[in-house]
Chain A
């Protein structure tokens, strides 16, 4: 393992050793004031349009509300909603299971594949801008088109994917129409849809690494693998953290893709054959807007919130930037 470039690169060494002024000092207080000014418009907006409403959500979760009755008339039910969800709601338990599987596999795959794709894109190639735009295309294509397209491609009797499998003498697979294959199919669609997005994010991250570091490493005689592990990956840490944390937060709340692939936009409740692709947020949506049980839906949202919050804290702790 080659030495870390810090010994040879004065720039990196100085950066690591630089102290940040503490808030106690006069300089620190002056700076802290500016920081507060910078964040205040955003904090105000978030309080108003996100955090306040979230508190309202927690409050509703200990009431029984059918969305129609006036809010002050909601009966207080204590922890009844929570008790029901955690002990009696079989659909919720199935949804939670499906959501966790989706998150672990989806986030894992996208994190790794995205990085591989970005490294590919970042290496010396021609017409990089064109390639980048190509990877951006699935993001541009509206979810509706993607949902329709994949439903058609994965069709058991007529889909292109089964045609290709048939060439290899593999019998046609039901994919989305079978309880055992539906969830893996959804995961594949999700990976497909978002991998380009992560490739672009990683690419931007890679751009942020100064060429000087690579040059210093080359001077030190480090090969590609060593360069990757000692320079690229550590300096990608902030982006990696971002990707893993936001990807997880998003995956635990997956909705659009399951909705598009299993409801087709009609009055269906979705969730795939025999509920095999039912995810927590879809069940939450049905509970609120089909069953008129907003108290229970907000309780579900609170439980999910707690789960996401804890997982995020753990991730931040494990992956944080060494100060």
Chain B
């Protein structure tokens, strides 16, 4: 029996599916909703127990106040610069390396790959001091380079791209080689286009992580006019009275989330079925 869209079982299945999606979706949206709601509360409301679900009166001026107290425009510019360069670097190096590990045989391949994985096995703050020392030797303290360059290569990204590229059939590569394409061209014209979903995923995750990163930029970017958004927002906090300014912090966080969300929506078109074998003509 073939299930059609209109048969009773088919419709029940679809309804259940949408119900599950809706519940799941609601669950996912909750913290975002809470953040927005908190950002519109007064200082008193945010400290109250039981915590109110919605503000009595939406305090849109919180957003204005945040922008006044914190140099948001400048911070945004800094964050965009650092994040875009880092993400571009990660996408490029990860896909190139992932390609090499997935589709090439060379001596030491597995050992080197294991070493790359090993670099993920130590928490960052443990190697903070030696990395800081090295960055300082390059003269990159208080400089965008000090944040971008160490962040341009991601072992995680290399691993991800390797796994995704493995699924690309070798035939495509061989067909291209027979046609006389160089290895780099294969990378650029075959691997990249077919890795749309993987690159979009890697790009969006890294965008968010780097955008939100705090500790390393805090140590490197010492001048206030180099501060990224999390650093700028942090100047709202008052030690010993954090609860009081939580509403402003949430407003600041909401503001900082917008680019990542827009970027993600924009990248949606790359989350498409990457490969179609019917196009196998060489």
Q: Verify that A and B bind, or say they do not.
A: yes
Chain A residues whose CB sits within 8 angstroms of the CB of B112 once the complex forms: 39, 43
What distance in Å separates the Cβ of B14 from its nearest Cβ neighbour in chain A?
8
Instruction: Give bound CA distance, A204 to B30, whole Å.
Output: 24
The answer to whether B268 and A129 touch across the interface, beta carbons within 8 angstroms, is: yes
A265–B158 alpha-carbon span in the complex (Å): 33
Q: A145 near B34 (CB under 8 angstroms)?
A: yes
B28 contact from A135, A205, A255, Cβ within 8 A: A135
Q: How many A-B residue pairs have CB under 8 A?
A: 276
Within B245-282, the residues touching A (CB, 8 Å) are 246, 249-250, 253, 256-257, 260-261, 264-265, 268, 271-278
Q: A281 touching B246 by the CB < 8 A rule?
A: no
- Is A22 in contact with B131, judged by CB distance below 8 angstroms? no
Residue in A28, A38, A117, A238 whose beta carbon sits within 8 Å of that of B163 in the complex: A238
Picked from B50, B169, B237, the residue with its CB within 8 Å of the CB of A11 is B169
Looking at the assembled complex, report how far the CB atom of B274 sits from the nearest CB atom of chain A, in whole angstroms.
5
Interface centre among B21, B115, B149 (most CB of A within 10 A): B21
Contact B134 A51 (CB under 8 A): no
A211 to B82, CA, bound (A): 38
**B162 contacts across to A, CB distance below 8 A:** 238
* B60: Cβ under 8 A from any A Cβ: no
24 residue pairs from A and B, CB less than 8 Å apart: A18-B174, A31-B106, A32-B104, A35-B104, A36-B100, A38-B96, A38-B183, A42-B116, A42-B158, A46-B115, A133-B264, A134-B28, A134-B29, A142-B253, A142-B257, A144-B253, A145-B34, A158-B51, A197-B205, A204-B271, A208-B164, A246-B160, A305-B118, A308-B121
Besides A34-B100, A39-B97, 8 new A-B residue pairs in contact (Cβ under 8 A), listed by A number: A34-B104, A38-B99, A48-B134, A52-B130, A132-B271, A145-B38, A242-B160, A249-B117
Interface residues of B (CB under 8 A from A): 17-18, 20-21, 24-25, 27-32, 34-35, 38, 49-51, 53, 93-94, 96-97, 99-101, 103-107, 109, 112, 114-123, 125-127, 129-131, 134, 149-150, 152-153, 155-156, 158-160, 162-164, 166-171, 174, 183-184, 187, 197-198, 200-201, 204-205, 208, 212, 230, 237, 239-240, 242, 246, 249-250, 253, 256-257, 260-261, 264-265, 268, 271-278
